[in-house]
Every structure is written in C-alpha cells, then in structure tokens.
Structure 1
C-alpha cells in the first residue's frame, strides 16, 4: 500500500496554484476514493468529520478546483462522496513522488536551488552550496529560483582517485570524513565543498583504491541519476 511518510509535506501544483499535501490529507483522499464516504474516510484517517471537511475546503480553495463530489444523504454526514478527476490526479502525483522515495531508500537528500535553465538542451543547473553546482535533466514544471530536493542514491555515486573523461557530467573533488561497514558494503561519507555525500562501495574496491579517512578523492554521478522534488 502506498503511504506518504508522516511529517513530510509534498507540494502539489495544478495550473500555477499549489498546496502542501501531508500524510493526513493524502490518507483522507485515499480513503474517500476507496470507501465513497467522507465519514468513513475521516474515521480511517483518525480525524473528525469537521476536520475532514476543512481539509477538503482548504485544498479546493488553494487549487481553485473541486476535488470531491458529494451527494446528500441522511443526517450526521451521510451520503456518498467520490473524487473528481482532479482529486484522483492529486492521488496519482503523490503516489509517483512516494515511489521515487521508496525506490531510493538509501539516498542523499540535499536541498538545492535552481540557478539556470537551458530549455533547448533540456538541462538545468542546481546549486547545493556556493561551491557545488549540478547539471541535471530539465523538469518543465520548474523555474529558476525554485527550491528543490535532490535525491541521489548512495550506489549511484562513483569514487575515483582522479577525474576521468567519461559520460559522467557531475564530478567533484572531496574528502573522506567517515567510513562505516554496512552489511557487505562500506558506506563512505565525503565532504564536497561543505555538503556531505554518501557512497556505498564494496570492501574490495575500498582496498583497491586505498581509501582512508582524510583522503582526498573525486566523486561522480550521471545527471540522470538525480531525482528531484519541488519544495
């Protein structure tokens, strides 16, 4: 079952309008879709019927669209309810975001700002800190100045002793500040310009590269390995 992580809010945008969707609001919409009842959905979400109506009202007000369609029934909040096509789209978007998070369980989560967009080339540059900028594929829904969360899986980070010519677009110099055994892998923590990046490599590769604490190395990753979420 798809679950939005508790305490996390996802920004959902429709036609330049947006709102923050958290686990309670997501569960409410999910249960309305499953049960056809706001009353039952509120019970399953563990909120009051009044709170449920307030959630729906705020979402609809922010997006300027209807997300729930109701038919009157008996007293006490009776009747039926269904999600509109826009309401179902919100559920779909949130499930897509959650799928990205589930796919990358061990992932570097780094807040970044979009500093430039090259639409003809289909790329954009994001800044992690004043010393580190990444080039990644363009997301047409983003604009310069947007704050995003960059997600880079630990096993997508390559460690090198010197920069190499390759298809890897993002290569940075860093210093190893922590090494820890995680199962059959070594988890290496690297400082690149004030931002910490984790990489998982094999024990044998660690020995071959003679990786030690304090050693200066280079890390690299392909642009397509970076997933993003708008904050």
Structure 2
C-alpha cells in the first residue's frame, strides 16, 4: 500500500462523535493490523511504545470505542494485538479515502456556473465558455450559482471523431501540449479557451497519431464530474 502523505487528516465519525486521525495514527493502526503487535506497529511508525498507547487511548476515549483487542500468550508467552471491529472499520475507511485520492490526484479544475436545472431528469447544465455540459443534479445548487467542476485526467477520453456511446459530453478542441508523465502521455486540449488534460497510454497516443495542433474530440461521462460551490 502506498504511504499516506504527511499532513493528511481523516475525520472519523462514529456514534455522533468525531476524531481527526493524522498520518502517524493512521500508520499505527495500519501496522498493528499488519503485524498483530502494538510494539512492532510503534517501531514501524517510528514512535515509542508509550506514544502508541497514548494514541490508542486518545482515539478510544474520544470515540468511546475499543479499537484494539489484546490476547495473552499461552505457556510460551507472546500474545498478540488485533484491531477490533471498529478499529478495522476505521482503517478500511481511511484506505478507501487513500484510494480515491490516488485515483483523482490529477484533476482538471474549471470555474463555471449553473445555467439550468432539470429536476425531472435529475441533471444540471453548466457553462464552460460557450460549451454547455450536463452533470448530475445537486439539490443544494441553484441556477446562477458559481461552482468548481473537477474532472480527473483519467476520465477524459480522446477521440478523432465524435462517437455514439455512454459518454454524454463530447467537445471539439485542439491539442496544445503533449508530454510524458510517469509512463503515460499527458494531452492538453484547448476547448474554446479552456484547457482540459487527459492521461492516455503510449499505444493509444501512437494509434491516434496525436500531434500538437491536431483537432480532436474530448469526452467524459456526466457522473465523472465532481463539483464544489464557490
């Protein structure tokens, strides 16, 4: 599993109580889960055993749950510590957040506004310069609201011709930049003054014979757009 970036915090909510889990505490839970030992978990987290116990106590006392379960060894000594059901649930939620963050690490950010809301169809129309885009309805928004539209590079498709498919939003543009990005090709496309980036494979770039200045179509599903009100 990839390492969680420093500074990341997870807001854990259980039974109406909340706790901010930072990188050190996340790592401790993850290593306890891997080693079945608080001692080993503390070593891998690079904290003292006493600090590890303090972290665990703070989480448990705040959320009023037990996040670890310790069993004593038999005649040979030993024993082990495992995460409780609640502790495992907390770790699982953090890992899900990590996975989402990794998938959407590179995103297009576009400031736009809501032009129309169709509650019967459950969609909204937003404007990107003169281009209108359909996205899922958010009941907290109203016509005229300014929002930030977020589209992952990986959710932008490049086509030479518009095609009939489940991709609802297809826009013509021109390639303005091509670069290598971690064994992927990053394509920058201008769609009427707005730039959208797409990550594609080397083989796809060769197959499409993409070049700077070439006319292409970019497409993306409505559900692939996340929005924030600004």
TM-score, structure 1 as length reference: 0.58
Aligned ranges 1:73-92 → 2 under 5 Å: 81-92=81-92
Report how far residue 163 of structure 1 moved.
5.6
2:28 alignment partner in structure 1 = 28
List gaps (5 residues or longer) in structure 1. 73-77
1:152 alignment partner in structure 2 = 152
2:40 is the alignment partner of 1:3: no
2:111 is the alignment partner of 1:108: no
Report how far residue 132 of structure 1 moved.
8.5
2:44 alignment partner in structure 1 = 44
Aligned in 2, Cα 1:212/1:148: closer, same or farther, shift over 3 Å? Answer: closer
Report how far residue 127 of structure 1 moved.
10
Task: For residue 212 of structure 1, give the secondary structure of its aligned residue in structure 2.
Answer: coil
Aligned in 2, Cα 1:36/1:160: closer, same or farther, shift over 3 Å? Answer: closer
Task: For residue 202 of structure 1, give the secondary structure of its aligned residue in structure 2.
Answer: helix
Aligned in 2, Cα 1:160/1:60: closer, same or farther, shift over 3 Å? Answer: same
Cα distance between partner residues in 2 of 1:18 and 1:127 = 38
Cα distance between partner residues in 1 of 2:170 and 2:122 = 20
2:182 is the alignment partner of 1:179: no
Report how far residue 34 of structure 1 moved.
3.7
Query: Deviation string for 1:6-46 (max 9, x for gaps)?
Result: 32625354346554444432220122234443233211211
List gaps (5 residues or longer) in structure 2. 73-77, 142-146
Contact 2:168 2:222 in 1 (8 A): yes
Task: For residue 167 of structure 1, give the secondary structure of its aligned residue in structure 2.
Answer: coil
Aligned ranges 1:132-147 → 2 under 5 Å: 135=135
2:202 is the alignment partner of 1:203: no
Report how far residue 205 of structure 1 moved.
1.0
Aligned in 2, Cα 1:112/1:50: closer, same or farther, shift over 3 Å? Answer: farther
1:221 alignment partner in structure 2 = 220
Aligned ranges 1:52-67 → 2 under 5 Å: 52-60=52-60, 63-67=63-67
Q: Which has the larger radius of gyration?
A: 2
TM-score, structure 2 as length reference: 0.59
Q: Provide the alpha-carbon RMSD of the alignment.
A: 5.1
Query: Deviation string for 1:178-206 (max 9, x for gaps)?
Result: 11256997531235665642232422313
Report how far residue 118 of structure 1 moved.
9.8
Report how far residue 85 of structure 1 moved.
0.8
Aligned in 2, Cα 1:112/1:176: closer, same or farther, shift over 3 Å? Answer: closer
